[in-house]
């Protein structure tokens, strides 16, 4: 394709956008609204996933040891845990360290409650295990629970099961939302661009009769759809950024268990998605819209 031809296609696209300002503005608004909703869905999924990961990072298995556990039993237990392959960290906590940890958890006002425990310490030695994924907790516990020297195991299985269920649910919801949004985008943008094509149906018919090829007629509309998609993507990203930025600064200080994704994520990650989706939907919408007008 020659440069002069490309310039002609771009010129025709810009003329069409200028000639049909109302319809073009409606198309841009539709793209922006659709991508904005898609962006809200993405931000929601990303923040929920990050919150789940933050909770997951706090999930741990506490293995409490008997006072009479032997060195060889302790060594065998350590080797068994490490051989699991899904261990993020393994920490040995002595009786005295357990008292110090308990004292810190009670805080300054109540730390006197543990005074004297150092002399007659009822707390056991223990291992604190962090796994790479909560889904591995059950497997880890079942592999060590019958080993000698273990008094008891606390694995927070109820919390782990809930986290696993929430993670799977969020992923499936995200997939469904993305599929629905792509379908809605194609439908809405296709309809708005169809209005532009319909307003020029006579011109298209004349071009067909004088021998213009289908692709020669298609390209200005495809480029027009791409331009609409890019502008709509930019508008949606700017609106999403400032609204999310406002929400981020208003809520971040009040959230204790999780930290929201930085607003910069909207520009660094979502903008690229918007541009790609906007270009694809704009071009595809144009192709689908002009198809029946070429059947002359």
pLDDT in tens, 219-266: 888 888 888 889 999 999 999 999 999 988 888 666 655 678 888 999
**169 and 151 assigned to the same domain:** no
pLDDT of 131 above 80: yes
Q: Residue 124 has which token pair?
A: 């056991």
Mean pLDDT over 203-232 rounds to 81
**38 and 138 assigned to the same domain:** no
**232 and 166 assigned to the same domain:** yes
Give 163 or 228, the one with higher predicted confidence: 228
What is the model's pTM? 0.63
**10 and 108 assigned to the same domain:** no
pLDDT of 107 above 60: no
Count the domains in the chain: 2
**173 and 210 assigned to the same domain:** yes
Q: The domain spanning residue 74 has which CATH number?
A: 3.30.70.3040
Give 237 or 214, the one with higher predicted confidence: 237
Least trusted range by pLDDT, from 104-118, 160-174, 185-199, 268-282: 104-118
**49 and 168 assigned to the same domain:** yes
Single residue among 155, 185, 212 that ends a domain in this structure: 155
Which among 283, 285, 294, 296 has a CA at the least distance from the CA of 195?
A: 285
Give 111 or 136, the one with higher predicted confidence: 136
**44 and 179 assigned to the same domain:** yes
**288 and 186 assigned to the same domain:** yes
DSSP designation for 234: H
Q: Categorize the per-residue pLDDT at 98 as very low, low, confident or very high, splitting at 50, 70 and 90.
A: confident
Q: Within a 13 Å sphere around the CA of 101, how many CA atoms are in the beta-carbon half?
A: 12
pLDDT of residue 119: 59
- Percentage of the chain with pLDDT > 90? 7
Single residue among 132, 155, 178 that ends a domain in this structure: 155
List Cβ neighbours of 212 (8 Å cut-off, separation of 6 or more).
none
- Percentage of the chain with pLDDT > 70? 79
Strand segments (E) across the chain: 61-65, 87-93, 126-131, 150-154
Answer for the pair 279, 226: CB distance below 8 angstroms, yes or no: yes
**91 and 166 assigned to the same domain:** no
Mean pLDDT over 271-278 rounds to 90
**90 and 47 assigned to the same domain:** no
**284 and 179 assigned to the same domain:** yes
Single residue among 155, 182, 211 that ends a domain in this structure: 155
Q: Categorize the per-residue pLDDT at 26 as very low, low, confident or very high, splitting at 50, 70 and 90.
A: confident
Structural domain span for residue 166: 3-55+162-294
Answer for the pair 274, 237: CB distance below 8 angstroms, yes or no: yes
**14 and 115 assigned to the same domain:** no
């Amino acid at each position: 394709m020659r440069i002069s031809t490309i310039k002609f296609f771009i010129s025709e696209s810009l003329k069409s956008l200028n000639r049909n300002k109302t319809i073009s503005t409606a198309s841009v608004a539709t793209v922006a609204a659709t991508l904005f909703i898609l962006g809200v869905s993405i931000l929601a999924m990303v923040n929920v996933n990050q919150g789940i990961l933050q909770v997951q990072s706090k999930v741990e298995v506490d293995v409490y040891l008997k006072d009479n556990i032997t060195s060889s039993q302790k060594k065998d237990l350590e080797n068994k845990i490490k051989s699991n392959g899904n261990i993020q960290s393994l920490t040995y906590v002595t009786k005295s360290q357990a008292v110090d940890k308990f004292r810190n958890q009670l805080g300054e006002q109540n730390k006197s409650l543990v005074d004297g425990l150092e002399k007659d310490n009822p707390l056991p030695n223990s291992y604190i295990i962090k796994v790479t994924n909560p889904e591995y907790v059950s497997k880890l516990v079942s592999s060590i629970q019958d080993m000698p020297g273990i008094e008891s195991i606390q694995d927070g299985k109820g919390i782990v099961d809930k986290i696993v269920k929430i993670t799977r649910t969020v992923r499936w919801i995200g997939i469904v939302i993305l599929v629905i949004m792509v379908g809605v985008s194609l439908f809405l943008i296709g309809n708005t661009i169809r209005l532009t094509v319909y307003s020029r149906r006579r011109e298209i018919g004349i071009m067909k009769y004088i021998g213009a090829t289908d692709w020669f007629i298609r390209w200005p509309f495809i480029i027009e759809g791409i331009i609409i998609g890019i502008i709509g993507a930019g508008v949606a990203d700017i609106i999403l950024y400032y609204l999310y930025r406002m929400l981020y600064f208003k809520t971040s200080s009040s959230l204790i268990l999780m930290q929201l994704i930085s607003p910069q994520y909207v520009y660094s990650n979502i903008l690229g998605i918007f541009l790609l989706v906007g270009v694809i939907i704009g071009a595809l919408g144009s192709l689908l819209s002009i198809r029946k007008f070429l059947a002359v």
